[in-house]
Structure 1
Amino acid sequence: MDCILTLPMLVCIAVLSMSEERDSHHDIVLATKTYIAKTLHAQVDMRPWPGTGALPRYLSNAYLMLHGELGGEPTLWLFAREQSTPAVVERHLVVLGEHWPGAMIVVFDQLPSYARQRLIEKGISFVVPGAQLYAPGHGIDFRSRARRPTPMREVLRPSSQATLLYLLLHSDAVGCARSATELAPILGQSLMTASRSLAELEAHGLAKRQKTGRTKEVCLAHDPREVWRLAQDRLRTPVLRRVTLLSGMPIDAQCWYVAGLSALSRRTMLAEPIAQTYAVSREAVRELEAAGGTVVPDASVLAGEADAVTMEVWSYDPAPLSQDGVVDPLSLFLSLRDDPDERVQGALRRMLEGLPW
């Protein structure tokens, strides 16, 4: 039987959706007030900011904006509606600074530890209710002891990260379970390294192993999307450094994989940059230098040269995860997730949305 939605039904659905959004906003605002009252022993009054209507649409959609005072100083509270990278938040604050002269504090419902650290490095004030209040302009840096990072939340070793990304990328394949013996040659690891990587993923709750016959096989601990979400604060960019090489040098094309914005333009509708970027392993760079190639340490020195090529030296070999000469989408995301360009961030989101999970 077909279901026909009438206009009154659609209106009702829209009203319910708006009601749920208001409830969500009320909860995070109340949690923030309660957290500040508990940590600073001060009451904070927050009121809708009338300047929201003069802002670009993307900003007014990104935050619920309330204003009040903290420590006697006018403060604009920005309740993030969705998770944005620290670089994007920084760009938003620059634009908001043209409309609001006072202090600004961004409020997140939750925030990975790597993102908190980057916000602190950039001097951006933020609150995670129940976990942390960082407002250097107000002389505040409070972290709840119950939320201190533990060893279980440290970043993964490069070999373990490569193993996790391989499992995520092949999660829809038949017989996705793998043993250390099977994974070692695929990822170019020793059997000892492969075993240690699987043990580390299991300890972090990202993978699980079960004994099948005489071997232990591993698969993801949850569905791929959930594992990817849980792993965000344990993953790092694979890029150790960027160097420049002039074309014409001896290059083993099989060891080079399109990376950076060059790769993102291949995977999305983003315009392709003039200068090409490739990912290589540390071993490939050493072999290149041993063969007589001259590597310029500063990637920006020859950036304007027509025959200049940028090389990203990765902490793990990009080859096992790459396909058709282009680096894998998950490593690509990690290498660009702090790029401040909103076009790049939009392209990264669309790329991840195209994954089968």
Structure 2
Amino acid sequence: MDEREAYNRKRLIEKNRAFIVPFKQLYIPYLFIDFTEYRYQTKGRTAQTLQPFAQVLVIAHLLNTNNQYTIEDIPLKEIANQFQVNTINVSRAVENLVELELIEIEQRGRYKMFQFKFDRKTLWEKGLENNIFINPIAKEYFVADNFNWNLPLLKAGDTALTEYTNINPSDQMAFATDNQTFNLIKKNNQPNTFNEFGGEYLFQIWKYDPSFINRISQSAYDKVDPISLFLTYKDDQDERVQMELEHLIN
């Protein structure tokens, strides 16, 4: 951008003088209008997959079929309040969505907002086609014996799949949580309580807090949301599971 042009615009704004710069800015102070073209500045790289919280935003949008809430056309700070996260997390996620060319940014006054470029069905299909969705699971641990936990956990894995589909119940209970919550649970148990081999309970440590989406979408109450669950099984080779997953998504 020409520095002299930017300087002149700044002087006009300071003097409350209306002006228009084609394709860049419209400023009419007495009508409280200030529309500015906004482009997120990336770091010279192109993202290939969704970052964890960016995926949360996409899934929340996909599940909002009844328009009970919105993350479009509202300030990023309001999105942060909805999910109870820091605005920095939202800004980084939005930058990731821009790099993947999934959203358009608009500056309204001093607020930045965005809209998805595609309808929900197209957004989902493009995401699968371009393989941008990540598997939410970062790591898994098992518990062989009784253990103590007093924090709410969401059903996941086969336990959740059983409730969403016609898959037969599993003897093993599976739960999903984020790393921070899992560390709190470990503090209340013996070091050897958790292992990576097998046990009555399975703990999935997710790359994002599985309760994020449930907080606003109310798509599930005691289990993980159906889209995240699908993504944990997407590469499963069991034909029976894949058939049920197709029913789940439909």
Q: TM-score, normalised by structure 1?
A: 0.51
1:128-147 to 2 correspondences below 5 Å: none
> Aligned AA for 1:313?
I
Partner of residue 119 from structure 2, selected from 217, 220, 223: 223
Partner residue, 1:155: 49
Partner residue, 1:318: 210
Partner residue, 1:333: 230
**1:154-193 alpha-carbon deviations (Å, 9 max, x no partner):** 1221121122212222254156224321222333421111
Q: Unaligned regions of 5+ residues in structure 2, if any?
A: 1-43, 215-219
> Aligned AA for 1:329?
P
Once residues 127 and 119 of structure 2 are traced to their aligned partners in structure 1, the CA distance between those partners, rounded to angstroms, is 12
Is 1:346 equivalent to 2:240 in the alignment?
no
Partner residue, 2:135: 237
Q: Is the 8 A contact 2:47 2:99 kept in 1?
A: no
Once residues 65 and 249 of structure 2 are traced to their aligned partners in structure 1, the CA distance between those partners, rounded to angstroms, is 15
- 1:226/1:151 Cα in 2 relative to 1: closer, same or farther (>3 Å)? farther
Partner residue, 2:88: 192
Q: Secondary structure at the match of 1:243?
A: strand
- 1:209/1:275 Cα in 2 relative to 1: closer, same or farther (>3 Å)? same
Once residues 133 and 178 of structure 2 are traced to their aligned partners in structure 1, the CA distance between those partners, rounded to angstroms, is 18
> Aligned AA for 2:176?
A
Name the Cα RMSD after superposition: 2.1
Once residues 84 and 243 of structure 2 are traced to their aligned partners in structure 1, the CA distance between those partners, rounded to angstroms, is 33
Partner of residue 166 from structure 1, selected from 28, 52, 60: 60
Q: Is the 8 A contact 1:250 1:293 kept in 2?
A: no
Q: Unaligned regions of 5+ residues in structure 1, if any?
A: 1-149, 303-307
> Aligned AA for 2:142?
T
Partner of residue 171 from structure 2, selected from 270, 274, 277: 274
> Aligned AA for 1:288?
I
Once residues 203 and 223 of structure 1 are traced to their aligned partners in structure 2, the CA distance between those partners, rounded to angstroms, is 18
- 1:277/1:318 Cα in 2 relative to 1: closer, same or farther (>3 Å)? same
- The higher-RCO structure (CA 8 Å, 6+ apart) is 2
Q: Secondary structure at the match of 2:46?
A: helix
Point out 4+ residue stretches in structure 1 off by more than 4 angstroms: none
- 1:173/1:258 Cα in 2 relative to 1: closer, same or farther (>3 Å)? same
Once residues 174 and 227 of structure 2 are traced to their aligned partners in structure 1, the CA distance between those partners, rounded to angstroms, is 17
Q: Secondary structure at the match of 1:152?
A: coil
1:345 deviates by: 0.3
1:222 deviates by: 0.5
Count of aligned pairs between the two proteins: 197
Q: Is the 8 A contact 1:180 1:191 kept in 2?
A: yes
